[in-house]
A and B are shown apart, each in its own frame.
Chain A
Amino acid sequence: MSQRSALPAFALVSPVQLMVGGIIFLPAIYVFWLSLNQSSFGQAATYVGLANYAKVLSDPYFWRALVNTVIVVAVVVHVELLLGLLMALFFASGIPFRALMLAVVLAPYAVSEVSAVVMWRYLFEPEVGMMSQLLATIGLPPIEWSVNPSHGLLMVCLLSIWLHLPFSFVILYAARLAIPGELYEAGSMDGATGWRAFRRITLPLLMPALLIAALFRYIFAFRLFSEVWLMTGGGPARTTEVMAVYLYLEAFRYNSFGAAAATGWLLVLASLLLAVVYLRGLYREMFGKHA
């Protein structure tokens, strides 16, 4: 059962490794090669060095997409973590219909991006949608998501938070339930109740889970595509594009594979940068402290 049977162990992991290696890793490397070449679909490539990167980095639409992505990711992930945390604490404090409410909170997890877009467009349809009318009743300006770029992005944020809140909530709620009740009892004897108990006991013990949830959500929010594509299509006039939408348009509409590949590698690098702290910790855990 130990070292001598390492070969069969490799046989067992090989299907998984072949799949991710052949379908994700090798293509990703090939994208790097593509990003150094001038090519479009069906044509031979010629080496152009970093020209594609220079082209992308001097494209104002790229910068617009990058800024949009950063704003949406920052809003979505932080609002989501805050709401998830509040809900986890609320659930842990004992609420009526807890089991039923757990199912209710998980419901959006089952909804496709496509159906979610249908729902939120219906709610915010100008003038006639239920939320549009509610906003008008309380005297707020309407959300003109199809003409006003910042309103369009606001809808994308709302939609993403709604779709992914179940994930953040589950991670944080499970972590909160794992904190032993005795800690709070001991804390209350030392006078730590309410806010002080939260600051001294809950928050430090939830920190690892908060960081994990944040990391996963940063990385996954960064690749945001469908919500934007289906809600605004990147418009009006390319103002609400995010990185993945920009990449898609470069590749499949403007036939500029080199520029798209360069964007792709910038996306990979951004994800790596976000994850490097986490991966380093994991690597140390796996290979011992000396690594």
Chain B
Amino acid sequence: MRKRSLPLALLKLLGVLVIAAWSLVPIVLIVMSSFKADRDIFSVASRFKFEPTLVNYIQLWSRWGDFFTGLWNSFLVTTGATVLAVSVSLLAGYAYSRHASKALQASAFFLIFIRLIPPIVITLPLFPVVNWLKLNDTHFILILLYATFFVSLGTIVMRTFIDQIPRELDESAMIDGASRFQIIRRVIFPLAAQGMLAVAVFVIVYAWNEFLFAFIFTTTKAKTAPLVVAEMIGAVEGVEWGVLFAASAIQLLPVLAFVILMQKHLVAGLTAGAVKG
């Protein structure tokens, strides 16, 4: 089976290079170009060789204060949505893993069914209600929406992970007189950390990058970073590419580093969510 020949090895190396180029060229290009002066951005001669400059970042700082407020809003919303989604998914995942009844199963089916409803559809009735409750343009409404759209996947992922924790552990804790919440806190919580990380990765990437809900439900106070970047794309006719690249790079790099750091959990979560749900 295993013939190791030079042409094959070279062919594989070529394949690796093509895949790497497809994935990375767009990312590397805008990060690199964010350090270019205006005249170098579209110049062929200075595509890879140029005098790096921070002028775009300085421009961004002095003229788009909105963007940095947006980053802070994104951070708050992402943190809130993650904490909320992970905690309620943990509770529900535990219940679905340890209990079985017709009604519970029906409610699990409902969670999966709900994922079929496109987010844009529910913006229609929510828009007037959110306005009426004076919740538009608040962090709270985004936190609630982002968490809600991930709790069904989160619950499924948590159940898959908690299924792997032996039941004998909670039973012996119960015999020792531990209450249900003590069992979750002392037994399940430490052992389900992997699953919670997997759910957290999903929610963090989604909440940090989300556009549609932020576009519809925020205007100024709770405006997130992607929304400000989108405004920069649409700003007048001439796009200021340098400043736009600086903003995109800042928006992108933290979550990219995070995904690469967490890739093991991301893969585990994706497979758990897709196989069971």
Contacts and interface: CB of A to CB of B under 8 A. Distances in A.
B76 interface: no
A24 B114 contact: yes
A101 to B, nearest CB: 6
A271 B117 contact: yes
Given A16-B151, A101-B19, A114-B230, A268 B121 contact: yes
14 contacts: A1-B171, A2-B99, A13-B95, A19-B151, A20-B152, A27-B124, A30-B125, A107-B259, A112-B210, A119-B26, A122-B33, A130-B29, A216-B274, A286-B108
Interface stretch (B52-60, B140-148, B189-197): B140-148
A174 B216 contact: no
Contacts of A185: 1
Contacts of B229: 112, 114-115, 118
Contact of B271 (A97, A170, A193): A170
Which among A20, A34, A120, A282 has the greatest number of chain B C-beta atoms within 10 A? Answer: A20
A251 to B, nearest CB: 6
B235 interface: no
A129 B25 CA distance: 13
Interface string B123-166: 11111100000000000000011011101100100000000000
A123 interface: yes
Interface residues of B, number: 99
A225 B210 CA distance: 11
Given A12-B91, A13-B95, A109-B259, A122 B122 contact: no
B196 to A, nearest CB: 15
A27 B118 contact: no
Contacts of A76: none
A16 B120 contact: no
Interface residues of A, number: 99
A9 B26 CA distance: 48
Contact of A20 (B44, B148, B252): B148
A195 interface: no
A171 B88 contact: no
Contact of B248 (A115, A123, A171): A115
A149 interface: no
Query: Main SS of chain A's interface residues?
Result: helix
Contact of A13 (B104, B233, B263): B104
A247 to B, nearest CB: 6
A137 B118 CA distance: 42
A225 B212 contact: yes
B148 A188 contact: no
A112 B22 contact: no
B124 A34 contact: yes
A272 B241 CA distance: 42
Given A16-B91, A24-B149, 17 more contacts: A1-B170, A9-B98, A15-B91, A20-B148, A23-B126, A90-B15, A90-B19, A96-B12, A104-B24, A112-B210, A171-B270, A185-B1, A225-B212, A244-B120, A251-B127, A261-B124, A287-B102
Interface centre among B94, B121, B174, B267 (most CB of A within 10 A): B121
B104 A6 contact: yes
Interface string A146-187: 000000000000000010000100110010000000001100
B203 interface: no
A174 B227 CA distance: 35
Contact of B122 (A19, A28, A97, A272): A28
Contacts of A257: 124
Nearest to A113: B211
Contacts of A121: 233
B37 interface: no
B49 to A, nearest CB: 15
A3 B103 CA distance: 11
Interface in B8-56: 9, 12-13, 15-16, 19-20, 22-27, 29-30, 33, 42, 44, 47
B124 A31 contact: yes
B251 A115 contact: yes
B255 interface: yes
B219 interface: no
A70 interface: no
A16 B111 contact: yes
A112 B98 CA distance: 37
Which of A2, A103, A115, A128 is the most central at the interface, judged by chain B CB atoms within 10 Å of its CB? A115
A212 B272 CA distance: 12
B244 interface: yes
A107 B251 contact: no
A212 B275 contact: yes
Interface string B189-233: 000000000000000010011111000100000000010011001
Interface in B240-277: 241, 244-245, 248, 251-252, 255-256, 258-260, 263, 266-267, 270-271, 274-275
A230 interface: yes
Interface in B71-109: 88-89, 91-92, 94-96, 98-105, 107-109
A1 B124 contact: no
A30 B111 CA distance: 18
